[in-house]
Amino acid sequence: MPLINLPNFTDDLLSEFAARSTTRVDTPVIQPAEPFLDIAGEDLRRRIFMTESETGASLCLRPEFTIPVCIRHIETATGTPKRYSYLGEVFRQRREGASEFYQAGIEDLGDINISSADARAIADATGILGRLLPGRRLQVTLGDQAVFEAVVQALGLPLGWQKRLIHAFGNMEQIEALLARLVSPQFVTDLDDDVARLVAADDEAALIAHIDATMEATGYSTNASRSPVEIARRLKEKLILSETRLDDAAFGVLQEFLSLNVPLFNASAALAGFADAAGLKLGNALSRFDGRVAALANAGVDLSTIEYRAAFGRPLDYYTGLVFEIAVEGSQAVLVGGGRFDKLLTFLGAQSRIPAVGFSFWLDRIETERANA
């Protein structure tokens, strides 16, 4: 039995889900921990409640629904496009509020019209929340990881630095720390002399042989998680990254991009102007952004309620494009969060790429807003 009561508006919520032709699903409360640990990201990993099976397999209390719903879709070999809805308890440590709470949401899998699916997600999320909170003006904050990735790639940074910056998207404190290291590189000084010499000489074969011999001599090779080849490549990458410096012009471009914060109806022009002034070719990322804005307008969404923030992201590593959150205007409490996760189902074992977008409601926060109305 649940330890907390369902809010009194859940029947209305489920009716809204049914009206949108979703299939209601549930997933076990006890989940294999590996997908969350490997895919969901550091922020969620820190807050998961872990346990073990009798055989020692790592398990956890369900911390969110997106990964379990996607696993269920793959295991049942259901075709796409498919829209799922869910409502149930999740368990994770929170900075405020109980660690057991209800979430509900929609996962939209397999629609190849990306702009239309993104617009539908935001339209559904705002439409449903508007019915649960009548008379309240909603504010949507929208970001786009794909646009950030395009900017980072266009600057020509080494792939390792691109990965680090993209991984930090949405965490301004972490991005600022990475940019500080790029502006003032900290050279690697902790390498063994022989390793440093071989890395500097770019003699990969000799470096691999040296690492292999060292691992054999120390007995480390029998339980190593990485091979000598992998370790050699990581060392070379570490040295390259430590010697990379971001010039002042590129640093200024990144800072200017991350400072963009405009109403969505001005965002396409602002991004195009930024790209032209910086001399960056952002190509498909801007085309997809423009297509989403047009689709939102066609769906009847009030663009004046949506703010585009170039630095905005959400603390889950599986997002690939659109990210958004919704609050009541003037409030800091996030009531709905969602985004696009086109790579997730492949990571979880799908045989082919399945585009996907979804969102979830924090029911306890919505209940508080209703009580304060």
pLDDT digits (tens, 9 = 90+) for 239-274: 555 656 778 888 899 999 999 999 999 999 999 999
Q: Is 38 in the same domain as 73?
A: yes
Looking at the structure, do residues 112 and 63 belong to the same domain, yes or no?
yes
Query: Is residue 171 one of the residues assigned to a domain?
Result: no
Helix axes 228-243, 193-200, angle to 10 degrees: 70
Please tell me the distance from the alpha carbon of residue 201 to that of residue 230, in angstroms, as a whole number: 18
Region 126-141: what's the mean pLDDT? 96
- Mean pLDDT for 342-350 is 96
Please list, residue by residue across 187-196, b when 16 or more beta carbons sit within 10 angstroms of its beta carbon and e when fewer do.
eeeeeeeebe
| Residue list for the binding site for L-histidine | 64-66, 92, 103, 107, 314, 318-319
- Separation of first and last alpha carbons in the chain: 30
209/353: higher pLDDT: 353
Within 13 Å, how many C-alpha atoms sit on residue 24's CB side?
A: 11
Q: How many domains does the chain have?
A: 2
Same-domain pairing of 117 and 89: yes
Q: What is the pLDDT of residue 222?
A: 47
**Whether 300 and 334 share a structural domain:** yes
Residues 29 and 88 in one domain: yes
161, part of any domain: no
- For residue 87, what are the CA distances in angstroms to 2, 65, 178, 218, 323? 13, 9, 38, 53, 21
Task: Establish if 155 belongs to a structural domain.
Answer: no
Asked whether residue 238 falls in the same domain as residue 276, the answer is no
Least confident of 13-27, 65-79, 181-195, 260-274: 181-195
Task: List, in sequence order, every beta strand (DSSP E) within the chain.
Answer: 23-24, 30-32, 50-52, 58-61, 82-91, 100-109, 138-144, 261-263, 306-309, 322-328, 336-340, 356-362
Q: Does 202 have pLDDT greater than 80?
A: no
| Cβ-contact 324, 311 below 8 angstroms | no
Q: Is residue 233 domain-shared with residue 92, that is, in the same domain?
A: no
Structure tokens at 251: 């640093």
pLDDT, position 1? 43
Label residue 185 by pLDDT band (50, 70, 90).
low
User: Domain boundary at 183, 209, 243, which?
Assistant: 243
Q: What percent of the chain has pLDDT over 70?
A: 88
pLDDT number for residue 45: 87
User: Residue 124 falls within a domain, yes or no?
Assistant: yes
**Binding site per annotation, positions:** 64-66, 92, 103, 107, 314, 318-319
Q: Is residue 4 part of a domain?
A: no
β-pairing verdict for 356-362 and 261-263:
unpaired
Identify whether residues 215 and 267 lie together within a single domain. Answer: no
With contact defined as beta carbons under 8 Å apart, do 51 and 137 qualify?
A: no
Q: Answer whether residue 37 is part of any domain.
A: yes
pLDDT at 184 over 50: yes
Q: What tens digit of pLDDT does each residue of 271-318 get?
A: 999 999 999 999 899 999 999 999 999 999 999 999 999 999 998 889
Q: Among 128-132, 189-193, 214-218, name the most confident range.
A: 128-132
Residues 35 and 144 both lie in one domain:
yes
Residue 174 lies in a domain: no
Reported confidence tier of residue 67, pLDDT bands at 50, 70, 90? very high
The CB-side HSE value for 192 (13 A sphere, CA atoms) comes to 9
Q: Is the pLDDT of residue 226 over 70?
A: no
Question: Do residues 104 and 238 share a domain?
Answer: no
Domain span including residue 143: 10-150+263-371
Q: What is the β-pairing status of strands 138-144 and 50-52?
A: unpaired
Beta pairing partners, 105: 86, 360
Closest CA to 315 of 169, 174, 148, 179: 169
* β-pair partners for 336: 326, 361
Mean pLDDT value of segment 192-208: 71
Assess whether 23 and 87 both reside in one domain.
Answer: yes
User: Would you state the pLDDT for residue 139?
Assistant: 97
Question: For the CA atoms of 33, 80, 76, 52, what is the dihedral angle to 10 degrees?
Answer: 0
CATH number, domain with residue 59 = 3.30.930.10
Three-state DSSP class for 37?
Answer: helix
| Between 167 and 335, residue with greater pLDDT | 335
235 — pLDDT class (breaks 50, 70, 90) = low
Do residues 157 and 166 make contact, with C-beta atoms less than 8 angstroms apart?
A: no
Comparing 343 with 235, the larger pLDDT belongs to 343
pLDDT per position as a tens digit, 7-33: 899 999 999 999 999 999 999 999 999
* Statement to judge: residues 209 and 125 lie in one domain: no
Considering the domain boundaries, does residue 58 fall inside one?
A: yes
Last residue of a domain, one of 210, 243, 276: 243
